[in-house]
Amino acid sequence: MSDDDWRRDRIGSAHRGENPTVLRRLGSGFAVIGDRQFLPGYSVLLADDPAVTRLSDLPRARRAAYLGDMERLAEAVERACARLDPAFRRVNIEILGNRETYLHAHIWPRYDWEPAERVRLPVWLYGEECWRGARHALGPRHDPLRTAIGEELDRLGGA
């Protein structure tokens, strides 16, 4: 088993305690920090069942729980990023599912230091250099950010 096997089964590896990106277990899934950190604080809420492919797959009560956890993670990212970077601007929240089909929500912090031609556009339009290579890969230098988001999740209430 390689060090990256968890990427092939992000949800299963989170359940097994093998996914190193997990910040906290929440009521409806897992709050994880993103593999790519070109926008520091990028996080994802993974639903806890990989068979759930869209929000409407969930019964109303579970759907409400998932949306509540999504909002909680977004606020935690907002608070942590605002504390650590005075250029923090806002968060963008997206549920897409076009490539990875299991239900997950992206929480993207946005900053005033972003290039003017990018700051008002979706993050998916950032160049290939942001999505590949070591420069923006999650690593130990992101530990203070991971800690800050986790602490904010704790302050906002337990699962």
Scan for tokens 């929480």, then name that residue.
Answer: 107
How does DSSP classify residue 29? Answer: E
Scan for tokens 């900053």, then name that residue.
Answer: 111
Angle at 145 between CA 138 and CA 133, to 5 degrees: 15
Domain span including residue 47: 5-155
The Cβ of residue 155 has, within 10 Å, a number of other Cβ atoms equal to: 10
pLDDT of residue 52: 95
CATH of the domain at 75: 3.30.428.10
Q: Are residues 21 and 149 in contact, defined by beta-carbon separation less than 8 angstroms?
A: no
Scan for tokens 């988001």, then name that residue.
Answer: 149
Q: Is 5 helix (H, G, I), strand (E, B) or coil?
A: helix
pLDDT of residue 7: 82
| pTM (predicted TM-score) | 0.94
Scan for tokens 């969930």, then name that residue.
Answer: 58
Please state the domain count of the chain.
1
- Which residues on neighbouring strands pair with residue 111, listed in sequence order? 88
pLDDT of residue 39: 98
Residue from 134, 74, 135 nearest 108 by CA: 74
108-121: per-residue pLDDT in tens? 999 999 999 898 89
The pLDDT tens digits along the chain (159 residues) read: 456 789 889 999 999 999 999 999 999 999 999 999 999 999 999 999 999 999 999 999 999 999 999 999 999 999 999 999 999 999 999 999 888 899 999 999 999 999 998 988 999 999 999 999 899 999 999 999 999 999 999 999 854
pLDDT of residue 158: 55
Torsion angles phi and psi, residue 102, rounded to 5: -70, 155
- Which residues on neighbouring strands pair with residue 47, listed in sequence order? 29
